[in-house]
Structure 1
Amino acid sequence: MTEHPPDLDLAHLSRLAQEDVRLLWVNDFWDGALEGIAEYQGERCLFVVAEPHLVGAHDEMRRWVLYRLTTEQLQEEERWHALFVAHVGGHFDHTGTAPHEAEQHDPARFYGAYQADYRAPQLERSQAVGWFSAFTVRS
């Protein structure tokens, strides 16, 4: 999972309204989305679970931090997502454009490359847009 910048403090970030954050796809999942890409004000941004240490807690109230990505960071996330859709499937895709079934069903082609080559984006505090606890899903 992508790490938050060490100086990140949710108390200094704005809370974003559910209707302003549209889920596009999920990169990591454990009993709900941990990380993925969402659209905010027409821009694709990365979201990361705000308190990973609370995931799976009995009384967990999941929140996420939304980050603007650099052009290079976004291109890399889009590249990995396209590879996932092509070889694993579009079951975590809410863009309305990905087929549910993989075009070339061969998950090893994605997971092998992902484990060997994926590097999570290095985020800076200045990239944080705000935090949210719910998002809109439209497919």
Structure 2
Amino acid sequence: MPLIRLFISPHVLSASEKKELAQSFTGIYINSKLPAFYVNVIFVEVEENSFYIGGEARANFVRIAIEHIALDFPDSGRELAYMKALDDIIVPLFTAKGLDWEYHISQTPRELWKVQSLVPPPHMSEPHQRWFAENRATRWED
């Protein structure tokens, strides 16, 4: 499961821009054959007087925290390709809006993750492919 949280001042992004970002982020993972329902994108709106960078209040800053659980990067080439895909999505929009941003990616052990209290099937296994096609978690045998 990728969990993508964007900490952002209210009214910086419209509802349609949020939806487009969420769909674009989801597309990265669909291309890696992860089910769309694995992708969680949450916009956390932080009031201006509660968002400080370097001790100063900021309204034009976006902090993105990404947690990867479903898959780890197998090598540095994949890490760089993923970061480029992120940049391809956020740079045009955030630059046009005069925003500053930063992001980080952390990886949580897959063993510490369940969906609907089910252990997710191994990536690209038959049950995983069923989850991908049905876009939902279903019981499967280990």
Higher relative contact order (CA 8 A, sep 6+): 1
- Please state which structure has a larger fraction of its residues in helix: 2
Please say whether Structure 1 and Structure 2 have the same fold, judged by a TM-score greater than 0.5.
no
Class of the TM-score when normalised by the shorter of the 2 chains:
under 0.3
What is the TM-score normalised by the length of structure 2? 0.23
Structure exhibiting the larger radius of gyration computed from Cα positions: 2
- Alignment TM-score, normalising by the size of structure 1: 0.23
